[in-house]
Structure 1
């Protein structure tokens, strides 16, 4: 039976720029960084304390998926504190923290314009 998500890919145009952003500004760790084919590496990132990994990878023919809203949500303990910490590291928020009847969330953008939600668990 399926037991969870192992890897979620984030489409990027420049793997070096994305790697610097996700490690230096978001605080993720490198799980693996190895060659795949010319011009493309397989980069897996570890989110400290999480089982799911992120891959900075754009399959050939899927370049049109870079930028815009990405359909994944990160969770955190406190959206307001996380938003302040990310802004202090230079991360651009696409939307400030907002409380809704269904929960609290905010959005951030990476260097490629990919936009992600983060919310309290």
Structure 2
């Protein structure tokens, strides 16, 4: 079957309520210098590596963060990642789990959005 839609992700939007607090939190967790907010203070593009972009989006502050993580970040050192998250006081919601192909840990951002970090096994 053919489709004109490409199987490539362009950008992931993470809903947030307090843009400046969220930028500070993501900057600490991911290790980048905060920059400028665009679109009238409602969008912040997190610097990423690779083609897929990541944005904090404050356009709909009445969202519900329920459900599983909708994407994950990669790491090469799960132990260092967990220690980093713990040192920042991040709410970690799972133990490090080994599912064969990857190890992963889940955690929450300040708005309760479920996030995940994976390391290839």
Asked if Structure 1 and Structure 2 have the same fold, meaning a TM-score greater than 0.5 normalized by the shorter chain, the answer is yes
User: What is the CA–CA distance in structure 2 between the aligned matches of 1:34 and 1:58, rounded to whole Å?
Assistant: 11
User: What is aligned with 1:23?
Assistant: 27
Q: Please, what TM-score do these two structures have when normalized by structure 2?
A: 0.76
User: What is aligned with 1:42?
Assistant: 43
Unaligned runs of 5+ residues in structure 1 are none
The answer to which structure has the higher strand fraction is 1
**Considering only CA atoms, is the larger Rg found in Structure 1 or Structure 2?**
2
Q: Please, what TM-score do these two structures have when normalized by structure 1?
A: 0.76
User: What is aligned with 1:116?
Assistant: 115
> How big is the alpha-carbon RMSD for the aligned residues of Structure 1 and Structure 2?
2.5
User: What is the CA–CA distance in structure 1 between the aligned matches of 2:70 and 2:22, rounded to whole Å?
Assistant: 18
Unaligned runs of 5+ residues in structure 2 are none
